[in-house]
Amino acid sequence: MLTNLTAQPADKILELVGMYRADPRDNKIDLGVGVYKDAEGKTPVMRAVKAAEKQLWETETSKSYTSLAGEPAFHDAMIDLVLGTSVERDRIAAAATPGGTGAIRQAMELVKLANPDATIWLSNPTWPNHPSIIKFLGLPMREYRYFDSETRAVDFEGMAQDLAEAKEGDIVLLHGCCHNPTGANLTLPEWAEVISILQETGATPLIDIAYQGFGDGLEDDAAGVRMVASEMPECLIAASCSKNFGVYRERTGILMAISEKADNTEVAQGTLAFLNRQNFSFPPDHGARLVTMILTDPALRADWQAELEEVRLNMLALREQLAAELQALTGSDRFGFLAQHRGMFSRLGTSPDKVLALREKHGIYMVGDSRLNIAGLNKNSVSILAKAIVDVGI
């Protein structure tokens, strides 16, 4: 049997990690992998997470299974964080998943179960795992325009034109905030127009929110998501705790399914539990329990929000520094988009050969589509990157 297997294409980001590690240069810079790093290049454990882990260690009495959909307390805490009071709680079914990726996978499984002929609409570009999962499940897929490589901003006119072609029952995948890989976000008026298009076409939104708190703050980052959820009859939301809680390896995520009427919530909840059972049975609980403790304990939550705000402001400062240094070097404001983008990522909008030149000549590693992880920089390396960008002619 195993002799019939064929080699699968390598993950480009993980491949880049291997290349970076093999590079002997001392001044190399890793801007590829999507994890937050502090000024020392480390991905720290957040203070509130450490404190919650200590409490859990002292009080936990069992490692027995949790429920198929995870703990209801985790559902409630995450629904409050992402949706606030924008949707009636009795319309929301939820299931814990292995990270945000697990939530996306379960969402696609749900779509396939409910309507296998649904076309999934993805932004061009999007996170590579989105199309990978969709193709693996054999679901139809189309792209809508999103990023303008010339202006490095959202091509909203093109987006609106393309989404108008969606059909009733189709799924439109939207990034809740801090668009990956571009960093270019929709404005609230644009969110409102997207909602009008979805209402007109009958398509259902699936929102991937993996960076709440990394952009403009916890509440502002969720504003578009809450608008969609409150004004659409149905909505799917995949949320990740990897970035904003720093629990990457704990694989903590959640899928929410919002029904038009509360009458259907029980069926939706049972279906989410069923899908969990088929794919991995019980979801991991350690990270979910830590997140629940933090969100429901006033002191832990206050400390977590304070540290998360430090992380956000650090990335924003790096963005502004990079844009300013490039303006000083080029005498042009054409890199001003870096200060306008939000979250960990921005896309420079340059060619693969210039990305290659950055790597070969300067030891700067970023994904071939020119996505760079702002959080991979520090105050000193910003200057190195700015000079390298000018040197290779981006």
Active site residues: 127, 208, 210, 243
Pick from 380, 368, 394: nearest CA to 322: 380
Pick from 170, 139, 119, 137: nearest CA to 278: 137
Q: Do 362 and 389 meet the contact criterion of CB atoms below 8 Å apart?
A: no
Q: Do 257 and 207 meet the contact criterion of CB atoms below 8 Å apart?
A: no
Round to whole Å and give the CA distance between 48 and 53.
8
> 278 burial class (0-12, 13-18, 19+ CB within 10 angstroms)?
exposed
Planar angle of CA 228, 128, 18, nearest 5 degrees: 140
Q: Do 214 and 207 meet the contact criterion of CB atoms below 8 Å apart?
A: no
Q: Which amino acid is at 344?
A: M
